[in-house]
Structure 1
Amino acid sequence: MPNDDTASLAAPTPANSRQPNKYCNTYSSVTPPVSNQAEDIAWRFPTPEEIREELSAEFTKDQKETAWMEAAEAVKIHHDGLVRRWKEEMDTLLVYAGLFSAVLTAFNVQSYQLLQPGSTDSTVALLREISAQLSSFTVSPPFVNSTRHGSLFPGNSIQPPPFRAPTSAVWLNTLWFSSLVFSLASAFIALLVKQWLHEATVQGTSRDSARLRQYRLNGLVKWRIGTIVALLPILLQVASVLFLAGIMVLLWTLHAAVAAITSSLIAALFAFFFVVTVLPVFTSGCAYRSPASFAVFATYRRVWNATMRAACRICQVVIRWHTVLACGVPRVTGLHRFAHRRRYLSTWRGRDQNDIYKQLGALDRAIVTTAYSTTADTKFVSEMPVVFSDLPPDQVPQCFVDICNFMEGEWGDRGIQQRLLEDRATLSSLTCYGLRHMLARTDKDTEAWSDDIYTVYQYFCLGDDMPSKRFAELACKTLCQLAVEYPPHIAVYDSACLVLRDVYDRLGACHSYDTLCHARAMLERELESWDPSRGFKALQSHTAAIYVLLYCLRETISGRSQLTPTQTDAMLAWGQDTLSRAVQWLRDLEWQGLHNGCLAVLGDAAGVVVFPHIASSHLIMDIIDPLLALSSTPGGLTLISEELIFVVENTWSSAQAAYPNPIDIIQGSGLVWCSGLDTIDMKLVELRATISGHSKDS
């Protein structure tokens, strides 16, 4: 952990002062009062507990209450509008379903008669028998002969054969009765939905009401109430199609086919009713709440609790007799644990409160992100840092996941990029606070923590419009500490250097001893981790560390930083010592092979050709220009020695010897993103002249 390692980074404490390290609070905009020397120079990274206290005190109670109230009000408007819209849809559907069912019933009253024999069938059969007999007679006086033998009906009965309805009648009744079932089913389910929505209604905007409302809203989404609402009009449409199709066929007879099909539809309806009624009994978050569900739950709870009480009493009696028979030595068995462990069910509302208590952090986070996802108002994104301190640490990265999921679903991948570019100030501030909360967690160095760091950091971006001077301080402290505690992510180190290089000057912000110590700890770690096998990445990071070193020295002696004289002396002593180490690194630097990785494409040969252009640019940007800026600061020339200038000149000569004869870069070729070949010699001459002039003056 950096708390132990970075303690040695401070300047030596006087022998007569053996005070422990003390974290410096530097939020005040005024210069801190002069204190004793030990308190001035002692420094360490803040602990997670101190970061949590700092973040909790960042915003006032009124600010937090306002942010929560606005978020809760936005969710309430969305929730109430959703429930109201669904209720109105159900009312309209019930009216249509009622009218349609009435019309369909009138048709069914007439059609089902085709499924049974008519009352005139026997008379028709008898007349047919008489006609057949008469037509078989032949008159041959004085005799009348009949050519027909027997009756048309077996056994000379006048009863017709069993009635069989036409196929068209069967189809017609099946379609129309199915249509009637679908119509009544839609009305039946609509009544259930209205009951569910009534149970989901929550009044008030207090924190507890907001949690309960979010809990109910999560249930509506999870249990697909919106899907069921959308399916009900489809049921009515299917019913209409079946009705129109049934007009074109005849009615079925009342036989097994009609009974089976119609019964299966009715059985499916009642199966659905049974499932949606029983599910809330066993799953508290289920949104299918209705009076029937409550009645089943109340009965089930009463029976369950009575059974558990009886079982516990029986177990206690058995254990008591076992203890007596075992000479007073009780045994802890499964039966004993069962007898003394309460398994009683809570009430309908109490069960909800228990679940809400288990999900407090997730529900609070959902309130904030739902306020944004339902309104797309970036005001709620900018207010998220206010409520971060009220969330569990593991819920902070989930806020970013929720925002990303909403943006991706709303605008797609390109839409996300566009939205991020449009509001960089808000997003960079939000990300900075999110990363700060990651440092307040106690599970550092775990895979989950690393994943959450990546989840939050991927939204960090710097634009032309920065939020405030407070952002510069927060970004410096957060990114520098994160670069030390999360070294695998080199982009964090690059972002920290960029904040020091650009953001402070752009915002006109002033450093404090605390922020300079954060930068100091970061560059110390980088200077100690030189690995030439990393090639260009190692060179780039190391020269950036030298830039941070020179930057800290310039800010220390410029008078702009909020430092006491003791703190200034400590920073200068450390800076001179570290500068000598940087000089030694430049003197020992072997350039061969450092071109590896300088180009992402085009291969090793192209990298060898263009590396002098890139290396010269980094030497100018990270070493020569910062030395010139330091020399222009009052007192800065005293920190720059002749040896340092000679080593810088020799470093560039060594680079030219390792990579001779670089080709000219064609303008616009896209091979190289930067080049300092045209100016590096002039810059070195300027630097040499500045130091030489100072030496003559001295």
Structure 2
Amino acid sequence: MTNFWTIYQKATSEYESDLLNRYAGDLDTSLLFAGLFSAVSTAFIVQIIPATQPNPSDITNALLLRLLQHNDSFGGSNPLAPAANVSPSVVRAQSILFASLAATLFVAFLSVLGKQWILHYPRTSTLGSVIDQGKERQAKFAGVQKWGLHYIISLLLQLALLLFTIGIVVYLWDLDFSAAEVMIAIACTGFAFYACIAVVATIWNDSPFQTPLSVFLLKVLRQTKEVAAYVRARLGRLQTEWTAWRKNIPVEDVYDQFYSMTLSNPTFWRKDPLFTSPFPEATDAAAGFPESDRRRVWS
């Protein structure tokens, strides 16, 4: 048994070295993209911020007008400084761009945590036997597969890019509608292509266009199939139990008891003179009716 764990530790060391190098490269790429993208988002936010603030020249003109009216004996009420006329589309665009920047910064934060986790991953405990070290290594590898940090970071980067595109479109909508139309066409084409390759990767497992979205869709599809199979099995079991329960009911006995009680009940035959018993004498006799009542009913 010890020889097995020794061979296992040697084999997994080589695999984990390649795995950690691949994760480290992906995290470095994510950090680089997050840094560049946050710089671009910040530049756009800086360009939009002046549009949400009052124009200094308008305030200066309002103050000069107030001085002139104060010196004028026939001047009316003193006007106040004009409020900033901010377009709602500018406010929405700025909010979306800030959300994109926040998502990008969160990606950078997760990437740093991922780098720290990669440094901590190979530090298996040197205490204990080889079996304990192998179990700890296997538990950490299962945690990698379970939590899927790489997919979370990739999805957040894509979410930040989506929010940034929406923010640019909203900002250009009132500023230049033609430019907004071009931006919408390019963005829709890109998102449609991304959705198509995600669906293709979900349907065909050998597709090279694997993305975090396709992995997520594949998991959802598998869980949906499992739930549908469970529901079908449950319904089939209920149908089988219902059929077996129906077969165990003495239906003929129930019908015989019902009709025997109905036919032997004199009230049933005396409700309407149109109803006649096939054996009136026997029925009345069994019910204990006197002879005068039998003549009155059946005459």
Q: TM-score, with normalisation over the residues of structure 1? A: 0.22
Structure (1/2) with the larger helix percentage: 2
| Higher RCO (Cα < 8 Å, 6 or more apart) | 2
